Amino acid sequence: MSSLNITPLSSALGAQISGVDISQPLNLEQRDAIEQALLKYQVLFFRNQPIEPSQQARFAHYFGDLHIHPIYPNVPEQPEVLILDTAVTDVRDNAIWHTDVTFLPTPAMGAVLSAKLLPEFGGDTLWASGIAAYEALSAPMKALLEGLTATHDFTRSFPLERYGNTPQALAQWEEARRKNPPLSHPVIRTHPVSGRRSLFVNEGFTSKINELSETESEAVLKFLFAHATRPEFTIRWRWQKDDIAFWDNRVTQHYAVDDYRPARRVMQRATVLGDVPFFR
Residues serving a catalytic function are 98, 100, 254, 269
As a three-state string, the secondary structure of 73-112 is CEECCEEEEEEEECCCCCCHHHCCCECCCCCCCCCEEEEE
Helix or strand run (H / E) with residue 8: strand 5-8
The DSSP-derived string for 224-253 is HHHHHT-GGGEEEE---TT-EEEEETTSEE
Question: CA distances (Å), 215 to each of 32, 53, 154, 208, in order?
Answer: 45, 45, 22, 10
Burial 16-50 (b: 16+ CB within 10 A, else e): bbeebebeeebeeebbebbbebbeebbbbbbeebe
Whole-angstrom distance, CA of residue 241 vs CA of residue 71 = 25
